[in-house]
Amino acid sequence: MHETSPHLSVSPKSDPIPPVIALVGATATGKSDLALRIAAAVPGSAQIINADASQLYAGMNIGTAKLPPEQRQGVPHHQLDVLGLLDTSTVADYQTAARKDLAAIRAAGDWPIVVGGSGLYVRALLDRLEIPPTDADVRAKWEAELEAHGPAELFAQLQDADPAAAGAMDPRNGRRIVRALEVIEITGKPFSATMPQREFMEPTLLIGLSAPRPVLHARIRARVEQMWGQGLLAEVARLEQHGLRKGKTSSRALGYAQALAQLDGEMTEEEAQEATVFATQRFARRQDAWFGADPRIQWLPHEAEDLFEQAIALVAQFASEVGVEGLQR
């Protein structure tokens, strides 16, 4: 609880169902900390839904910057530690589970706060989005093509089959390209036809935290050094005993893949950290591109001294706009 922070009060005539508050942006911009401050300030109770794909995995704590339970200030958190290392993280499964959490929070009259930087997961939870079907055999065929020829050749095929989908995709994201080609083959329709529309399912305020690239890169480097200092290598060694290497998505998480390489002697500690910094900075650029394309996001500078006050003002204004009257600082 932040005793010096402004709090919000609500009149008895208010709509009992608060809107959804979502905090998004690149990694290392302070989303989790701001979410807790907002949760402590809104009237009534708030609950947080994680939208970071790596934080879904139980045991993957240090490398994902997951808040430990003792730092969650008693605020219920959902979609943390819900997958085992051998489970594959999918947008479809996340959508089903996270929407159940969201519905339960709203039914209780609490404030739902969605926090995370996995852009498609955020949209799968908040936007009108129908997840297309999957086929293990078709997926395996395209994954074999990716392994044999690399993402560039598959991306060229996607450009021929669905230029709109290709234009909205990172040509180096082999997993995403495979998914697009799988859907095209299964449905006979363009993958772009299944891409999410910018239409919220529920009244939602979308707040983004921004940081200048040099500042963000410095924060990422500091976070990576902290991860190793806090014992990431030991955490990965423990997880390896429980099947981390066999996890299709868990083993590829930022920091974990590099720590495994260090354990194998393929990298020194310095090289593993540098590789993690580079990969995370590249990921942050993709996050900036993804979220930057969404005109609904109201951006706030992460380093602003009055960041919390700015965010609370947006919450109060939006609540009033959707009919939750009497919300005042």
Q: pLDDT by residue (tens digit) across 181-220? A: 999 999 999 998 877 678 999 999 999 999 999 999 999 9
Please give the Cα distance from 248 to 216 (Å, whole number): 28
Kindly state whether residues 313 and 188 are assigned to the same domain: no
Q: Is residue 65 part of a domain?
A: yes
- What is the per-residue DSSP string for 125-170? HHB--PPPP--HHHHHHHHHHHHHH-HHHHHHHHHHH-HHHHHTS-
Quote the domain boundaries for residue 297.
20-129+203-231+289-321
Kindly state whether residues 142 and 48 are assigned to the same domain: no
pLDDT tens for 26-70 read 999 999 999 999 999 999 899 999 999 999 999 999 999 999 999
Kindly state whether residues 70 and 90 are assigned to the same domain: yes
Residue 190's pLDDT is 92
Kindly state whether residues 61 and 158 are assigned to the same domain: no
Kindly state whether residues 157 and 117 are assigned to the same domain: no
Whether pTM exceeds 0.95? no
Q: Is residue 273 part of a domain?
A: no
pLDDT tens for 68-112 read 999 999 999 999 999 999 999 999 999 999 999 999 999 999 999
Are residues 244 and 54 in contact, defined by beta-carbon separation less than 8 angstroms? no
Please give the Cα distance from 294 to 207 (Å, whole number): 11
Domain CATH for 155: 1.10.20.140
Average pLDDT, the chain: 92
Provide the 10 A C-beta neighbour count for residue 75.
Answer: 17
Amino acid letter, residue 12: P
Task: Specify the residue for token string 């099947």.
Answer: 243
Q: Is residue 53 part of a domain?
A: yes
Please give the Cα distance from 282 to 287 (Å, whole number): 9
Which one of 176, 194, 212 terminates a domain? 194
Q: Is residue 329 part of a domain?
A: no
Q: Is residue 240 part of a domain?
A: no
Residue 172's pLDDT is 92
Kindly state whether residues 36 and 124 are assigned to the same domain: yes
Q: Is residue 279 part of a domain?
A: no
Please give the Cα distance from 36 to 288 (Å, whole number): 23
Distance from CA of residue 166 to its chain's centroid? 22
Kindly state whether residues 111 and 216 are assigned to the same domain: yes
Kindly state whether residues 162 and 59 are assigned to the same domain: no
Residue 119's nearest CA partner among 297, 314, 298 is 297
> How many domains does the chain divide into?
2
Residue 16's pLDDT is 63
Kindly state whether residues 81 and 145 are assigned to the same domain: no
Q: Is residue 267 part of a domain?
A: no
Please give the Cα distance from 10 to 7 (Å, whole number): 10
Please give the Cα distance from 140 to 214 (Å, whole number): 40
Cα separations in angstroms, 99 against 46, 106, 205, 322 = 16, 10, 17, 21
